[in-house]
Homo-oligomer: A and B are copies of this chain.
Amino acid sequence: MPAFRLTLAYDGTGFEGWQSQSRGSARTVQGEVESALRRLSGGERVALCAAGRTDSGVHALGQVVSFSLDRGIQAGDLLRALNGMLPHDVRVLEAALAPESFHARRSARSKLYRYLLDTGPLQLPTRRPWAGHTPWRLDEARVREAAGLYIGRHDFASVASAGGSALTTIRTVTRSEARFLEPEAPGPGPTLLYEVEADGFLRRMVRSLVGGLVAAGRGAVSVADLRRALEARDRRAWPPPAEARGLALVRVDYPPEALVLR
């Protein structure tokens, strides 16, 4: 059975997240792609595995999924056929044959997420689908210092939502960088661009990490308080999470040997 790897981009606005619901009526990215693959393969049920199970409203610029098909098809034909059948809010950027052992989530070495947060008294309507919004003015130095706290191997229990299926809440964050972009029009304030890379993420972890940056940046908590809240391993100690719409899964990295066809 040939195994495939797809790189997907989607606008999360019109989806109730990646994962198909057991009730089945919600529009999900997984549901759209599986349904297109089923039509393509003549009715075969295809089970997709995604690197990141993005929540409702979360976008992707480089989600990776894996699956097997009963019959052979050229990767380039698969890409064109899927893009012909899928709705415009999901696109296949890349399709490739994968080793049978390849698993989009378990084979991943790291994932990179991006969060855009517009600040200031109002948000440009054209930014709203891709950026969260806070009216507070954020102190750049404190936001950067807070972002630095997350780097390294930590128990991230304080920023994991209930209901996650992870066996451990220990993760290693290899990159956690905040910078501010100039506003696109007069009136709105600067935009916080936050990028975080780790070997794995807990449920709603990135949105909670951003919630911590906002709380520190606006002075609701000190950076020292935030460090204690992280060390407390208790999610009741943590500031509220940022909205889903500012979040995008940018990239998933794999060790080269995971992608090599034997």
Q: Fill in one digit per residue for A168-184: 1 if any B CB lies within 8 Å of its CB, else 0.
A: 00000000000000001
- Nearest B residue to A62, CB-CB: B185
- Asked whether A9 is an interface residue with its Cβ less than 8 Å from the other chain, the reply is yes
CB of A10 within 8 A of chain B? Answer: yes
Q: Which residues of B contact A61 (CB under 8 A)?
A: 124, 126, 184-185
Contacting pair B248 A9 (CB below 8 A): no
CB of A11 within 8 A of CB of B125, answer yes
Residues of B within 8 Å of A9, CB to CB, are: 124-126, 185, 187
Indicate how many identical chains form the complex. 2
- Is B94 in contact with A126, judged by CB distance below 8 angstroms? no
Contacts A9-B125, A124-B61 given; does A187 touch B94 at CB 8 Å: yes
Are A129 and B129 within 8 A (Cβ)? Answer: yes
Q: How far is the CB of A81 from chain B (nearest CB, A)?
A: 13
Q: Does A59 contact B (CB under 8 A)?
A: yes
Answer whether residue A117 sits at the interface, using C-beta atoms and an 8 A cutoff.
no
Q: How far is the CA of A63 from the CA of B9 in the complex (A)?
A: 32
A184 and B130 alpha carbons, distance in the complex (Å): 14
Q: Is A106 an interface residue (CB 8 A)?
A: no
Q: Which B residues touch A187, using CB under 8 A?
A: 7, 9, 93-94
Please name all residues of chain B whose beta carbon is closer than 8 Å to the beta carbon of A7 when the two chains form the complex: 186-187
Q: Are the CB atoms of B91 and A125 closer together than 8 Å?
A: yes
Nearest chain B residue, comparing its CB with the CB of A90: B125
Q: A262 on the interface (CB 8 Å rule)? A: no
Bound complex: CA A123 to CA B187 (Å): 30
A88 to B7, CA, bound (A): 32
Closest partner residue, chain B, to A133 (CB atom): B88
Cα A4 to Cα B130 in complex, Å, equals: 32
Q: Which residues of B contact A184 (CB under 8 A)?
A: 61
The answer, yes or no, to whether A228 is at the interface (CB within 8 Å) is no
Question: 10 closest pairs, A vs B, by CB?
Answer: A93-B187, A11-B125, A89-B125, A61-B185, A9-B124, A11-B126, A91-B122, A10-B125, A59-B126, A91-B125
**Residue positions of A touching B, CB distance < 8 A:** 7, 9-11, 59, 61-62, 83, 88-94, 122-126, 128-130, 184-188, 248
